[in-house]
């Protein structure tokens, strides 16, 4: 599993709002760093890492709910949850396919067609999830959600996006 990125610039003297901004922005950037690998879909671990990161972002947002205006917070949290749920549907199928595939060599020959048919059905569902994932990220890009999200966090926490050190690439 992908390790959580270190949050740069936190100190015991940082105020609650500053800490909120740094943590939420770091979790956002951590999650979005897996976007390309998730959309390409060649490595199921990229999707898994993105899903785990999205859950970390949701937890950070929940922890700092009081920093943000309720109405806009709900809108952004709803979108982050949509990302997590979409990734989760695909991840569940990846796990099922992987586990069923491992079983096949140990099955009796008469039992294999049923499991292989189930794997085929799951793989078809997984291709549908790929389309949903691509559509989600295309919509987010079209709406410039990432820029909007970062600006929103900056506005309410005072953390300047440019002052955060660049996020580390990949698995840190």
Cβ neighbors of 2 (< 8 A, separation 6 or more) are: 30, 34, 48, 49, 52, 53, 171
172: pLDDT strictly greater than 50: no
CATH fold group of domain 16-156? CHAD domain (1.40.20)
User: To the nearest 10°, the Cα dihedral for 116, 118, 121, 126?
Assistant: -100
Threshold 0.75, pTM exceeds: yes
pLDDT digits (tens, 9 = 90+) for 89-115: 999 999 999 999 999 999 999 999 999
Identify the pLDDT of residue 38: 94
Domain parsing of the chain, residue ranges: 16-156
Identify the pLDDT of residue 10: 85
Cβ neighbors of 51 (< 8 A, separation 6 or more) are: 84, 87, 88, 91
164: pLDDT strictly greater than 60: no
CB-CB contact of 167 with 29 (8 Å): yes
């Amino acid at each position: 599993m992908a390790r959580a990125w270190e949050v740069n610039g936190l100190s015991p003297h940082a105020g609650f709002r500053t800490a909120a901004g740094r943590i939420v922005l770091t979790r956002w950037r951590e999650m979005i760093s897996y976007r390309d690998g998730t959309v390409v879909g060649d490595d199921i671990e990229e999707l898994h890492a993105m899903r785990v990161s999205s859950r970390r972002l949701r937890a950070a947002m929940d922890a700092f709910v009081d920093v943000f205006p309720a109405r806009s917070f709900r809108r952004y949290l709803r979108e982050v949850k949509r990302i997590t749920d979409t990734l989760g549907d695909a991840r569940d199928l990846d796990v099922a396919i992987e586990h069923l595939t491992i079983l096949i060599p140990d099955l009796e020959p008469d039992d294999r067609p049923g499991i292989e048919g189930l794997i085929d059905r799951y793989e078809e569902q997984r291709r549908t999830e790929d389309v949903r994932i691509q559509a989600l990220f295309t919509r987010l890009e079209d709406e410039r959600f990432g820029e909007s999200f970062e600006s929103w966090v900056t506005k309410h926490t005072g953390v300047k996006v440019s002052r955060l050190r660049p996020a580390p690439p990949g698995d840190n």
